[in-house]
Amino acid sequence: MRKFFSFASAIATVAAVALPAAAPAQATESQCSAGQFCVWSEANFNGQFKVAQAPLGKCFSPQTTWPNGTNTRIGAISNRTQFQIEGFDNGQCSGQASSVLKPNTTAGSIGASLQTIRLVPACDQNQLCFYENADFSGKTWAVSGMTGTLCYNATATNAQAPHAAYNRDYRSMKLWTTQGFCGGPNYVLPSGQWSGFNDAVYAITP
């Protein structure tokens, strides 16, 4: 997987980032506060600054209108949210992400190869990640290396059952809500998708 240092110019089929106006200020990385997804118009956190309003899962182009009225590609990013930012080489945020910016990390320069980005729950490639709460908050854990169609435990080491999941495995997963075995009611979570659940999940089969 490539480093998250290349975003493409805007494309017509994807909406530009919707960002609120901000008062002019000297650009520094420290402008970005905890919980925020921040962007700058120039590399190394220089130029115009904005806090991005990016709903979870929304696919958008790395091009925006800045407080001074100019419309250019993002030059740097700071991700201080609990989520990760995924970058794609296509215009639909489809398939596996080609680049990932983890929570509480930054990208000081943005190239020209990626076309779209989105904010998603934090999860590594080839893992099935679980979250304590349906809004992806609280304790998190992951399962990987699953083979065949065996029944795997979905609970955390303290027996905590998850209420949300993100599937970054290449296969669809069945998530079972019956405690103790793989059978009965279940959710099907396709590869590359995430969801919160009304019922707790106790077991998994690929």
Pairing of strands 63-65, 84-88: unpaired
Residues 110 and 136 in one domain: no
CATH of the domain at 181: 2.60.20
In a domain? residue 3: no
Residues 132 and 115 in one domain: no
In a domain? residue 155: yes
Q: Which residue did the predictor score with more confidence, 12 or 187?
A: 187
pLDDT over 80 (residue 20):
no
Residues 37 and 106 in one domain: yes
pLDDT tens digits for range 70-114:
999 999 999 999 999 998 889 898 877 888 999 999 999 877 887
What are the distances in angstroms from CA 76 to CA 7, 42, 50, 61, 102? 10, 6, 11, 14, 14
Beta-bridged to residue 73, according to DSSP, are 63
Residues 38 and 100 in one domain: yes
The Cβ of residue 21 has, within 10 Å, a number of other Cβ atoms equal to: 8
Check: CB of residue 39 under 8 Å from CB of residue 109: no
Picking from 120, 144, 163, the residue at the C-terminal end of a domain is 120
Picking from 78, 96, 120, the residue at the C-terminal end of a domain is 120
In a domain? residue 10: no
Write the burial class of residue 114 (CB in 10 Å: 0-12 exposed, 13-18 middle, 19+ buried): buried
> How does DSSP classify residue 137?
-
Residues 134 and 110 in one domain: no
Total count of domains within the chain: 2
> How does DSSP classify residue 16?
B
CA distance 72 to 42: 9
In a domain? residue 140: yes
pLDDT tens digits for range 121-133:
999 989 999 999 9
CATH of the domain at 68: 2.60.20.10
Picking from 89, 120, 151, the residue at the C-terminal end of a domain is 120
Give pLDDT, residue 26. 54
C-alpha angle 35/105/76, rounded to 5°?
95
In a domain? residue 173: yes
In a domain? residue 1: no
Domain that holds residue 52: 29-120
Residues 70 and 148 in one domain: no
Residues 149 and 182 in one domain: yes
Residues 76 and 92 in one domain: yes
In the chain, % of residues over pLDDT 70: 87
Residues 132 and 197 in one domain: yes
pLDDT tens digits for range 26-44:
567 788 999 999 999 999 9
Sorted by sequence, the CB contacts under 8 Å of residue 79 that are 6+ apart come out as 37, 85, 101, 102, 103, 104, 105, 106
Tokens encoding 187: 């959710």
